[in-house]
Amino acid sequence: NAGVTQTPKFRVLKTGQSMTLLCAQDMNHEYMYWYRQDPGMGLRLIHYSVGEGTTAKGEVPDGYNVSRLKKQNFLLGLESAAPSQTSVYFCASNSVPRETQYFGPGTRLLVL
């Protein structure tokens, strides 16, 4: 039982490049979330999903896209990376909305 996993762990991009971050959970959770964490700030929600095939915008969705084609996977895409997207990205999931969330280990992204 791996819980929530994220790949890759670390990535360096040049401005304008694209990439996809993968989140996978093996707990059969309906709800999945993508956050970014910047120094001195709490987590900010980028996008979330309330079930397979659904996505919704969070607090800071601009510059990101997401897809949830399978219940266990939630992908976060950056189409044209910008230095402002340098951050640590966390995926989380849960079975009851607004209650306990289970987090992955994070992806550290540096955009040059």
Q: List residues binding another protein (CB under 8 A).
A: 4, 31, 40-45, 48, 50, 56, 58-59, 90, 92, 97-106
Closer by beta carbon to another protein, 56 or else 112? 56
- Rank residues 38 and 79 by Cβ distance to another protein and give the closer one: 38
Q: How far is the CB of 27 from another protein (least distance, A)?
A: 13
Q: Are strands 10-13 and 107-111 parallel, antiparallel or unpaired?
A: parallel
Provide, rounded to whole angstroms, the least separation between the CB of residue 93 and another protein: 12
**Nearest in space to 105 (alpha carbons), one of 89, 83, 84:** 89
Q: Decide: helix, strand or coil at residue 5.
A: strand
- Residue number with CB closer to another protein (17 or 71): 71
Q: Are strands 102-103 and 43-49 parallel, antiparallel or unpaired?
A: unpaired
Are the C-beta atoms of residues 34 and 43 closer than 8 Å to each other?
no
